[in-house]
Structure 1
Amino acid sequence: MNLANKITVARMMLIPFFFLFLQTYPSWLTERIPALSFMNSYGLYIATAIFILAAATDKLDGYIARKYNMITNIGKLLDPLADKLLISVALIMLVQKHMLPSWVAFIIIARELVITALRIVASARRIALAADHYGKLKLVLQVVAIVAVLLDNYPFQLIIDIRIDYIIMLAAVVITIYSGYNYIRNNYVRLELNR
Structure 2
Amino acid sequence: MNLANRITLARIFLVPIIMFFLLVNLDFPPLEFAQFEITYSQIIATLIFIIAASTDGLDGYIARKRKIVTNLGKLLDPLADKLLVAAVLISLVDMGKLEAWIAIVIISREFAVTGLRQVALLDGKVVAASKWGKWKTASQITAIIALLLNNFPFTFIGFPFDLVASWIAVIITVYSGIDYFLKNKSVIHFSTNKQ
Establish whether TM, by shorter chain, passes 0.5: yes
Give the 5 Å matches for 1:1-195.
1-25=1-25, 36-38=26-28, 41-158=39-156, 160-193=157-190, 195=194
Aligned length: 184
Q: Do the aligned residues in 2 keep the contact of 1:21 with 1:43 (CA within 8 Å)?
A: yes
Is the alpha carbon distance of 1:190 and 1:6 closer, same or farther for their aligned partners in structure 2, counting shifts above 3 Å?
same
Give the AA of the match of 2:2. Answer: N
Is the alpha carbon distance of 1:167 and 1:47 closer, same or farther for their aligned partners in structure 2, counting shifts above 3 Å?
same
- Structure 1 runs, 4 residues or longer, greater than 3 Å off: 38-41
1:42, CA displacement in angstroms?
A: 1.5
Supply the distance in 1 between the matched residues of 2:172 and 2:136 (Cα, whole angstroms).
Answer: 6
1:38, CA displacement in angstroms?
A: 4.1
1:80, CA displacement in angstroms?
A: 0.6
1:23, CA displacement in angstroms?
A: 1.1
Counterpart secondary structure, 2:163? helix
User: Which is worse superposed, 185-194 or 139-148?
Assistant: 185-194
Q: Do the aligned residues in 1 keep the contact of 2:116 with 2:188 (CA within 8 Å)?
A: no
Supply the distance in 1 between the matched residues of 2:115 and 2:58 (Cα, whole angstroms).
Answer: 26
TM-score (structure 1 length as normaliser): 0.89
Unaligned runs of 5+ in 2: 31-38
Give the AA of the match of 1:125. Answer: D
CA RMSD of aligned residues (A): 1.6
Supply the distance in 1 between the matched residues of 2:60 and 2:177 (Cα, whole angstroms).
Answer: 21
Q: Which has the higher helix share?
A: 1
